[in-house]
Amino acid sequence: MNTFLAEFLGTALLILMGNGVVAGVVLKGTKNENSGWLVITIGWALAVTFAIYAAGRISGAHINPAVTIALAVTGQFAWADVPLYLLAQFLGAMLGAALVYLHYLPHWERTTDPAAKLAVFCTAPAVRHTPGNVISEFLGTFVLLFGLSAIGANNFAEGLNPLVVGALILAIGHSLGGTTGYAINPARDLGPRIMHAILPVPGKGDSDWGYAWIPVVAPILGGICGALAYRALLG
């Protein structure tokens, strides 16, 4: 139960802070409106950092189904525990998205663009091109799991690892995030997308379900390949 709660609350914190910074940038009438991509990428990097600090000692702070599945494939995590972790992550992401909705409650009416409202909850491609979008999410998550594996193979001062992981997230956001918004986490995208469909967001438009499979499938495949690639490097 402790590991379930850690993954649940860690993922909820991740989404509250990560999607929260997106809301602050794209919704009308906020104090950080139109502050741009740099603010979003830094906000997401810090969200990951503090979510890991919150859950790391209890559950390992996967907070991402792509991480959980990749670790299971490479024999670093028990398959029997995968369903519990995935359930906690998706439910936590849904809770985080609901909290973002409540936090920015007065700003939904002021925002007229349905795409901006959707962007608060989930990702969308800058250019809609299925093969290119799949490649982008695959590569972003490949780098994530390859990088996490490399970080785990090194020794850092006590408590420094989450900061290094946050730096990795920042690098991915700047270098690879401009194409699809770097979901690199199926729970981060699907959980809030479900909440977008459920919550009474005024003038929200549709939830773009035709695209929704890409930030779920591509990160899982990319994560597995990234973790396997680092294992192969080690021999």
How far apart (Å, rounded) are the C-alpha atoms in residues 71 and 77?
5
Confidence class of residue 1 from pLDDT cuts 50, 70 and 90? confident
Encoded tokens for 226: 């990234």
CA distance 146 to 141: 8
How far, in Å, CA of 78 to CA of 65, rounded? 14
Give the span between the Cα atoms of 77 and 173, in whole angstroms: 27
Give the pLDDT confidence of 88-131 residue by residue, as tens digits.
999 999 999 999 999 999 999 999 999 999 999 999 999 999 99
Say what the pLDDT of residue 158 is: 81
> Is the pLDDT confidence value at 235 over 80?
no
Fold of 2-100+112-234: Glycerol uptake facilitator protein (1.20.1080)
pLDDT reported for residue 176: 97
Tens-place pLDDT, residues 126-159: 999 999 999 999 999 999 999 999 998 888 888 8
- CA 155, 164, 15, 99 torsion: positive or negative? positive
Q: Where are the domains of the chain?
A: 2-100+112-234
Report the percentage of the chain scoring pLDDT > 90: 95
- Give mean pLDDT, residues 41-70: 97
Q: What is the pLDDT of residue 155?
A: 84
Give the pLDDT confidence score for residue 175 in this predicted structure.
97
| Contact criterion met (CB below 8 Å) for 67 and 77 | no
CB 15, CB 93: distance < 8 Å: yes
Integer CA distances (angstroms), 233 to 119, 153, 226, in order: 37, 12, 11
- Position 139 scores a pLDDT of 98
Which pLDDT score is estimated for 142?
98
pLDDT band at 12 (very low <50, low <70, confident <90, very high): very high
The span from the CA of 68 to the CA of 79, in Å, is 9
Cα separation, 85 vs 187, in Å, equals 11
